[in-house]
Structures are given as C-alpha cells and as structure tokens.
Amino acid sequence: MLDQKEFTRIRIAVEDGVARLTLDRPEHGNAVDDTMHSELTRLFVRARADERVRAVVLTGAGDTFCRGGDSSASRTFTTLTGLTPVQEARMIVETLLDLEKPVVAAVNGDALGLGAVLATLADASVVARRAHLGDRHVAGGVTAGNGSAALWPAIIGVNRAKRLLLGAEVLTAEEAVAIGLATEVVDGPSVLATATALARRWAALPPFALQSTKRVLNLHLKDAASRALDHGLALEEQAMQGAEFAAVLARRRSS
C-alpha cells in the first residue's frame, strides 16, 4: 500500500482510484538524489499492491518533471536499500514494467536522463509544450544504461534511438510526440488535468481486461529489457568509475 510515511522525496495522493505520485525536489528540478533513487525502487511495488489504486499519474513538483540524476557535490551514490545503485536502477525499471495498472506521465517540464526513462515507460505521456525530453548520458561521460538504450529501440526503433542517444540529443515536446517517444502535447497549465482525466478513464474500465492487456503489451518491453538492461547497467557502472565521468562531474561541480 502507498504510505506517505515511507517517502520523503515523493508526494503521494490517492483519490477516486487514481494515485498521483509527485517527484518532490522542485528546488533541484526534481533531480534524483540517493534518497529518491532508493524510494523509486519501492514506489511502483507499493502502487501495484494498493487495492485503492486502479491507475497512476506520475508528475514532478514545480515547473520540471525530472532533470535526471543529481550531480551535486553532496551526492555520494550510496543507497538506503542495501543494494548497489545499479541494482536499484534495474529495480526501478523492472518494477515500473511490472505495474499492470496504467501509468500516465504528466510531464510538466523537462524530462532528462532517468526522468526521460520514467516518462517514456509510462503507458501515456502528456507533455507540456515548453518541455524538452532526452538522455544526455553520453555527453556526461556515462553509458546510457539505465533504460533508454535498452528500451527506446523497442518504442521508437533502433536507428531513432541511436540518433538520440549517441548524439545526446534533447527533443522538443512536439518532436518527442512525432517520433512516438511521448503521446500528447498540451499547454503547460493543462498537463496535470489532461493526464488525470486519461487516468480516470482507464481506471473506470474493467480492471482485469485492462491490466491483462497491458501485461501482454509490456512483454515486448520486458523482452528488450531481458536482452539489454543488465549489460547496459554494467557498462554504466563501469563508466561511472572512469576518468571521463570524473572529469565531467568535476566540471559540473566547479561551475
């Protein structure tokens, strides 16, 4: 069951069968620090087990969805779960794919890195017109191993994924929808209401039929994950111990 007491970086609200889950570090662009990373490993597990919940809306506090991983000097890349960061990263992706209840991402602002992975693995992504979406891991000296390189080829095709990830490209909302990485563009003030309305429509449908259909559809993504996710995460972990990442991180922290 979703319980706010378990979460300090994510706000929980459940109403009329819809859980609104809000990444809550607005002063940092909802960047994922060590605490939020650990909390994400259990977020979708709790939503799956919560009998009150028939659909989920995932959004960000303030004017950003999630700018990706926190690269501030205070981050130590330790966990609260006893797992390694790479093991946590795998859990976040796998538990999101295991959540049969429909998930709508209300992308109220930029979604980058892990934020882009969360947004694009939702069953629908309603994106603010001013938002940008992409994964700049390569530009940061790190393998794009936390989901995008493993799963985006199954969503938009290998060549499009190569263009985005190898070039560390960031798309406008319209561009993301045009290639199928997101589903709908709306004006910023309408994002949460539009996403919530879709979640409520899905929540009103016969639950077994809805959830079992999603389970079948997600087999395509799980197949991709089973082939590529472990390898990608292992390479990401290797890259994070290398000189390229250290140099980029030092430049960011000194700027």
The architecture in CATH of the region 4-207 reads Alpha-Beta Complex (3.90)
CA distances, 242 to each of 83, 141, 142, 236 (Å): 21, 9, 9, 10
Longest dimension (CA), the chain: 54
Token digits for 62? Answer: 């303030």
Q: Which three-class secondary structure state does DSSP give residue 140?
A: helix
How far from chain centre, in Å, is Cα 179?
A: 18
Token digits for 208? Answer: 């077994």
Q: Which residue has the tokens 């590529």?
A: 228
Token digits for 60? Answer: 């960000």
Provide the pLDDT for residue 128. 98
Q: What is the pLDDT of residues 130-187, one digit of tens each?
A: 999 999 999 999 999 989 999 999 999 999 999 999 999 999 999 999 999 999 999 9
pTM: predicted TM-score of the whole model, two decimal places: 0.95
- Point out the residues of the chain with pLDDT beneath 70: 73, 255
In angstroms and rounded to an integer, the radius of gyration of the C-alpha atoms of the chain is 17
Every domain of the chain and the residues it spans: 4-207
Provide the pLDDT for residue 73. 67
Nearest to 132 by CA among 156, 168, 104, 163: 168
Kindly write down the DSSP assignment for every residue of 51-95, as one continuous string: TT-SEEEEEESTT-SB--B--STT-----SSSS-HHHHHHHHHHH
Q: What is the DSSP letter of 11?
A: E
